[in-house]
Amino acid sequence: QVQLVESGGGSLQAGGSLTLSCVASKYTGRGTCMGWFRQAPGKEREAVATAQTGGSPTYYADSVKGRFTISEDSDKNTVYLRMSSLSPEDTAMYYCAAAPRVHAVEALAVCRHPSRPSDWNYWGQGTQVTVSS
C-alpha cells in the first residue's frame, strides 16, 4: 500500500500563486503515473495534470495550461503542482493520485488519458485551495 499526503493548500486572492506537494509513503517505481485532480463543490472530479516519475509532464487540462506546472522529485517521492495566476474558478479540493504499473508504457497510457478514476490505484485525502476575487 502507498499513502499519499498532500499539503500546501490555502486561501489567497486572485492572481496569486501556490505550490502543492504530494508525498508518497514509499517509492512507487520508475514510470509510475502521478496525477493531480481537483473537485469543486457540485462538480465532478477532474484531472488537472499528470507526469510519470522520471519523466516529463504528460497532460494538462485546457483550463490550466500555461498557469500550472507539474513536477516530481523521485528522490523525495514527491510530486508538486505549481499554480499561478489563480482565479476563483480554481477553487477546489486538490487531490494527488498514483498509478503504478509493471510496465511504464501502461502507466504512460493512464497519464495521457487520466480521466478514469478506476485507473488510479492510490489517492490522497486532498488539500483545499480557495481563491477569492
17-31 pLDDT tens trace: 999 999 999 888 888
pLDDT tens for the chain, residues 1 to 133: 899 999 999 999 999 999 999 999 988 888 899 999 999 999 999 999 999 998 889 999 999 999 999 999 988 999 999 999 999 999 999 999 999 998 999 999 999 999 998 999 999 999 999 999 9
Predicted local distance difference test score (pLDDT) of residue 29:
83
Predicted local distance difference test score (pLDDT) of residue 48:
98
Residue 96 CB partners (closer than 8 Å, separation 6+): 4, 6, 20, 22, 34, 35, 36, 37, 79, 123, 124
Q: By CB neighbour count within 10 A (0-12 exposed, 13-18 middle, 19+ buried), where does 48 fall?
A: buried
